Amino acid sequence: MPCDKKSLSQKKVLVIGHRGASGLYPENTLAGFERALDIGVDGIELDVLMTADGVLCVHHFYTLKPEIARTPDKKWLDNQSIIPNKSLTFEELQTYDVGRLKPRTRYALKYPDHKAIDGKRIPAFHQVIDLMKERGVDHTKLWVEIKTSPEQPDMTPPTEDVVRQVPKKFSMMKILIRGLYCFHLIGTFWLF
């Protein structure tokens, strides 16, 4: 179908919570997903990576981002201390706080209304699924981006390994799994 004003006007534009409610709440955290559901989004987009111990976790970047990640002693990460998420176990990943934006960074300036919530952690994918089930949001779609990169095999595991970890019980939900390199949606409005 050609993409023109008439065909787009006949489609419902979906409101999608990008990484939850990333412009308002800590991105890719349970608090961010809860906020997006409170707003009443039609769907949520999130990113899935696999940890060293095979846990699917929800995070956008191949590494912890210095603009959002702090160590257990509340120090911001620096560019020298970054390691790939695939090298960390889920338990190790849980030691980092991703609940606020580092002040005066480009990221913080981009989202001045972002609510800082200390103590927020990177969730496991199943925790987001459980949250959606608990909230009874059967109408809410879930767009899952598998974060792998054939060009950077040292940063991510192979896509097939990650996809194999998606439990069969999730197939009953309205989940669209897409790879990083193959996604095209028309009639979608990305919130935040």
Fold topology of 5-191 = TIM Barrel (3.20.20)
β-pairing, 43-50 vs 14-18, is parallel
18 is annotated as an active-site residue: yes
Most confident of 12-26, 84-98, 147-161, 175-189: 84-98
| Residue 132, pLDDT score | 86
| Residue 137, pLDDT score | 73
The stretch 99-107 carries a mean pLDDT of 93
* Helical pair 30-39 and 125-135, crossing angle rounded to 10 deg: 30
Q: How far apart are the first and last CA of the chain?
A: 28
Mean pLDDT lowest for which of 5-14, 24-33, 53-62, 64-73?
5-14
pLDDT tens profile 52-88: 999 999 999 889 999 999 998 999 998 877 888 999 9
Q: Which of 18, 59, 126, 184 is catalytic?
A: 18
CA-based torsion, 166, 168, 172, 176: positive or negative: positive
Residues 6+ apart with CB under 8 A from 68: 26, 27, 98, 100, 101, 102, 107
Residue 39 vs residues 6, 95, 110: alpha-carbon distances, Å:
28, 29, 21
| Residue 186, pLDDT score | 33
The stretch 123-144 carries a mean pLDDT of 85
Domain ranges of the chain: 5-191
pLDDT tens profile 153-186: 788 887 777 777 765 545 545 555 444 333 333 3
Which of residues 147 and 67 earns the better pLDDT score?
67
Instruction: Look at residues 53, 190, 48 and name the one whose alpha carbon lies nearest to residue 123.
Output: 48
Q: With pLDDT > 70 as the criterion, what percentage of the chain qualifies?
A: 80
Q: Which of 59, 60, 139, 184 is catalytic?
A: 60
